[in-house]
Amino acid sequence: MKKSLLFLSLIGLCLSIQAQNGCPGCEVSLPADLPEDTIFLGDAPVGQANVYYDQDLSFRLPKTTTSVAAIDSTTPPNLAISSFEIVSVSNLPPGLTWEANQREFDTSEQTDGCVKICGTPLIPGLYNVEVVLDAQVVILSRRTSFSFPLLIQPGVTATDGFRMINNIGCGEVDVTFINTIPSNEAEGFSYRWDFGNGLVSEEENPLPLTYDEPGIYEVNYEAVIDTAGFFLTKVLIEETTCNDILGGRPDLKIDVIEPDGTTIYTSDIIMNAMLPLTFELLLPIEDIGNYSLRVTDDDSGIGGADDVCGIVNFTQQTEGSLSSGEDLKVTLTITHPVETINSKDTVFVFEQPAAPELSLAEQFPVCEGDTLEAMVLNYVDGLQWIRDSTSLFGETAPILKISENGTYWSRYISPDGCSSESTPVSASFGVIPSGIAFQIENNLLNVFQPEDLPANSSIAWESDGEIIPGADGVAFCVDSSATYTLKVTDEETGCFATFSQMVTYDPNFPNCVSSNEEVYKGDFARVFPNPFRENVVVQIQDPTAQPSTFKLISMDGREIIAGKWRDLRGNWDKKELPVYELAKGIYILQLFTGRLHQNIKLVKE
């Protein structure tokens, strides 16, 4: 978990936990060696679906931006933070709520706090819990957000015979079944599983099962434990013809004999027995063959051997009364302990909601200050809008007004706690060209600092609101008084800016040159004709500072022609500029002779 809370942009502190009712009474518990001016957030302990969650998270807020600047180089240090206000939280696991010990913090008095998160989480998963905070730094208030992970592990249910892992989910769930009455490879165990979806199994440990249809599935489990065996627990002598040698009641005893003839049990002698006579015992009947029960009248050797009253045969499966002719009638009770464990539990598969369908109004151009409208078409409630992985506080309506660059999408959370997200859409607002203006000189309108225009831009000139055909350069020569407008459009975005100004035509500068002289006279050079149609003649007054260098520059700063004159002869020697291929417009001729420098404006008609 990222414990440090970073400032976003200039002064945004990343911490916030929205107050809600239902989880009061958290306790602040911070490390003893924590610095006073620092940022700290404790870990969010792992939870489990369907298991009550009750955890406290403690935090410390900074008093200055110094601790933040140490981990975020974009944040200036040594700025005092006067207060914090906890604003909101989103994306808690369904079923959980929270409450902070306080919402507002005056850093001069308190920077430590805590929040209790409690409830029963319903759906497992890794949740990025997003929190928002307002920080007051100097005179600026900055709202920002951050997220921390909260892991909810799959729920484990428990019954008398089995457990299930991950029995609740959205769309489909993979359920693991754990038999809690294992056989440990011993005989006598049998199992039956009914998974509630039409599938059954007699495996002791069935494989995980995928439930891929929404529904509520009752899982029934039965374990039969048949490991105790068979026991002869009661012998009831109902009738016998045996009598004592002197005519009195017989002295009875019983013997139990295994199929191989071995006597495994002999009872005590019951003197002068009265019928019916019961013998209680717990004798294992381990062999599947025939056992014998012998009833004897003990004469203690008087008159010869003891009298056998009768013998009956039985097996493990014998039930009820047995007789040996008319001499003996007995009832045997054979107990076979078998334990049957039945239990049931439920798998819940909630419907996976369809992703929100977004509609983003299309328009061109989209520029700074414009507003786009995004709309969720298939949901009205349960929505949360996100921009660049940050939830937008309070934006839960189907319509979102967008005025900032970013990637936007919407998350829908169903009443069952299942969520889905729309396909992201991007909003890009073009930058409106800035610093657009023009200068006026002798009826010539020049774009101010044309080098600062967007790289791929177009220019249009208007007169009293009407577009001037063909006027698309960085300069325009006016021929009448009007309100002139310069419009610069960034062709990549379509965004434009305008600059308008009332311009009064100066008749002394027709075609933006002086009407008093046909030849333009400069400091050390002159040109003619100006305006020109094909060639321009340049005369240099003093050629002694040879060579003379020249450049012809367009109004957008491009170099059209450049060179040197090395063979000037005498004052006002003439040189011709081959400018017949130039497009109509205004140009600047730059002349350099020695340390002298002169700019002359030329107009091509």
Secondary structure, 3-state, 536-558: EEEEECCHHHCCEEEEEEECCCC
Q: Minimum mean pLDDT among 14-23, 343-352, 500-509, 579-588: which range?
A: 14-23
Cis upstream peptide for 454 (omega within 30°): no
**C-alpha span between 323 and 538 (Å, rounded):** 151
DSSP helix/strand/coil, 462 = strand
pLDDT at 148 over 50: yes
Residue 530, SS3? Answer: coil
Return phi, psi of residue 549, to 5°: -110, 145
Helix boundaries (H) for 20-80: 66-69
pLDDT at 117: 92
Check whether 330 has a pLDDT greater than 90.
yes
Q: What is the pTM assigned to this prediction?
A: 0.62
Contact yes or no for 215/168 (Cβ under 8 A): no
Report pLDDT digits (tens) over 434-458: 999 998 888 888 888 888 888 899 9
> In the prediction, which pLDDT does 246 show?
67
pLDDT exceeds cutoff 90 at 487? yes
Rounded CA-CA distance 585/222 in Å is 98
**CA distance from start to end of the chain:** 72
Cβ-in-10-Å burial (0-12, 13-18, 19+) of 495 comes to buried
**Three-class DSSP category at 72:** coil
With cut-offs at 50, 70 and 90, classify the pLDDT of residue 89: confident
Cβ neighbours, 10 Å, residue 375 = 15
Q: Pick 581 or 44 by higher pLDDT.
A: 44
E strand intervals along 451-584 = 457-463, 466-467, 475-477, 482-490, 496-503, 520-521, 525-528, 535-540, 548-554, 559-565, 573-578
Confidence band of 11 (pLDDT split at 50, 70, 90): very low
Residue 313: the pLDDT is 96
pLDDT of residue 13: 32
Confidence of residue 573 (pLDDT cuts 50, 70, 90): low
Report pLDDT for 151.
Answer: 93
Q: Are strands 47-48 and 140-153 parallel, antiparallel or unpaired?
A: parallel
- What b/e string do you get for 68-90 counting C-beta neighbours within 10 Å, with b at 16 or more? bbeebeebeeebebebbebbbbb
Is residue 495 within 8 Å of 430, Cβ to Cβ? yes
Q: Rounded to whole angstroms, how far apart are CA atoms 130 and 120?
A: 19
| Phi/psi of residue 11, nearest 5 degrees | -140, 35
Tokens of 483: 């309100």
Confidence (pLDDT) at 556: 60
Q: Is the pLDDT of residue 3 over 50?
A: no
* CATH topology agreement for domains 231-335 and 438-510: yes
Query: What is the C-alpha separation between 580 and 558, in angstroms, rounded?
Result: 17
Higher pLDDT, 158 or 263: 263
pLDDT interval class at 305 (50, 70, 90): low
Specify the range with the lowest mean pLDDT, choosing from 12-21, 28-37, 235-244: 12-21
Structure tokens at 261: 């003839």
Dihedral-angle region of residue 65 (phi above 0 means left; psi in -120 to 50 means alpha; beta otherwise): alpha
Candidates 134, 131, 154, 152; CA nearest to 142 is 134
The pLDDT confidence band at residue 477, using thresholds 50, 70 and 90, is: confident
Q: For 567-587, what is the mean pLDDT?
A: 71
517 pLDDT more than 60: no
Would you kindly state where each structural domain of the chain is located, as residue ranges?
40-153, 156-225, 231-335, 356-414, 438-510, 517-604
The answer on pLDDT for 8 being more than 80 is: no
pLDDT at 18: 35
CATH of domain 231-335: 2.60.40.150
Does position 521 have pLDDT exceeding 50, yes or no? no
Q: Which of 4-18, 241-255, 303-317, 581-595 has the lowest mean pLDDT?
A: 4-18
Residue 522 has pLDDT above 60, yes or no: no
Q: Which letter does DSSP use for residue 93 in this model?
A: P
The pLDDT value given to residue 596: 65
Q: What is the pLDDT of residue 363?
A: 82
Encoded tokens for 300: 């203690």
pLDDT at 470 over 90: no
- Whether 299 shows a pLDDT value over 90: the answer reads no
User: 134 and 162 in contact (C-beta within 8 Å)?
Assistant: no
The arrangement of strands across the sheet holding 252-257 comes to 263-266, 252-257, 291-297, 307-314
Mean of pLDDT values over 40-59: 89
Question: CB under 8 Å to 247, separation ≥6 — which residues?
Answer: none
Lowest-confidence region among 292-296, 419-423, 450-454: 450-454
Is residue 283's pLDDT more than 90? yes
Residue 294 structure tokens:
């012998």
Whole-number pLDDT of residue 14: 32
DSSP state of 5: -
Pick the CATH number of 438-510 from 2.60.40, 2.70.50, 1.10.1740, 2.40.160: 2.60.40
Please determine, for residue 25, whether its predicted confidence score (pLDDT) is greater than 60: yes
Q: In what order do the strands lie in the sheet with 140-153?
A: 47-48, 140-153, 125-137, 81-90, 104-106
Average pLDDT over the chain reads: 84
Class of 40-153 in CATH: mainly beta
pLDDT of residue 73: 67
Distance CA 395, CA 109 (A): 33
The pLDDT value recorded for residue 7 is 33
Residue scoring higher pLDDT (144 or 241): 241
Q: Counting Cβ atoms within 10 Å, is residue 35 exposed (0-12), middle (13-18) or buried (19+)?
A: exposed
Q: Tokens 């002719």 belong to which residue?
A: 325
Query: Does position 278 have pLDDT exceeding 90, yes or no?
Result: yes
- Which residues 6+ apart lie within 8 Å of 363 measured at CB? 370, 372
Residue 2: what are its φ and ψ, rounded to 5°? -85, 110
The secondary structure of residue 304, as a DSSP letter, is: S
Q: Do residues 152 and 145 lie in contact, with contact meaning Cβ atoms separated by under 8 Å?
A: no
Q: Is the dihedral of CA 300, 303, 306, 312 positive or negative?
A: negative
CA 409 – CA 358 distance, rounded (Å): 8
| Tokens 């109509």 -> residue | 584
Show the DSSP H helices in 9-147 as ranges.
66-69
- The region of weakest confidence among 41-45, 104-108, 406-410, 575-579 is 575-579
pLDDT at 19 over 70: no
- Mean pLDDT (whole number) for 246-266: 91
Cβ pair 391, 380 in contact under 8 A: no
* Structure confidence at residue 394 (pLDDT): 87
DSSP β-ladder status, 277-284 and 496-503: unpaired
Q: Which of 121-130, 362-371, 520-529 has the lowest mean pLDDT?
A: 520-529
DSSP 433: P
**Can you give the C-alpha Rg of the chain in angstroms?**
51
Distance CA 88, CA 366 (A): 31
pLDDT band at residue 1 under the 50/70/90 scheme: very low
Structure confidence by residue, pLDDT tens digits, 186-216:
999 999 999 999 999 999 999 999 999 999 9
Among the CATH numbers 3.40.50.2300, 3.50.50.60, 3.40.50.300, 2.60.40.3080, which is that of 517-604?
A: 2.60.40.3080
Is the pLDDT at 5 greater than 50? The verdict is no
Confidence of residue 570 (pLDDT cuts 50, 70, 90): low
pLDDT level of residue 140 (50, 70, 90 thresholds): confident
Question: By CB neighbour count within 10 A (0-12 exposed, 13-18 middle, 19+ buried), where does 385 fall?
Answer: buried
Q: Is there a contact between 148 and 92 (Cβ–Cβ < 8 Å)?
A: no
CA distance 279 to 340: 29
By three-state DSSP, how is residue 511 classified? Answer: helix
| Banded model confidence at residue 594, pLDDT cuts 50, 70, 90 | low
Three-state DSSP state, 276: coil
Out of 18-22, 63-67, 381-385, 469-473, the most confident range is 381-385
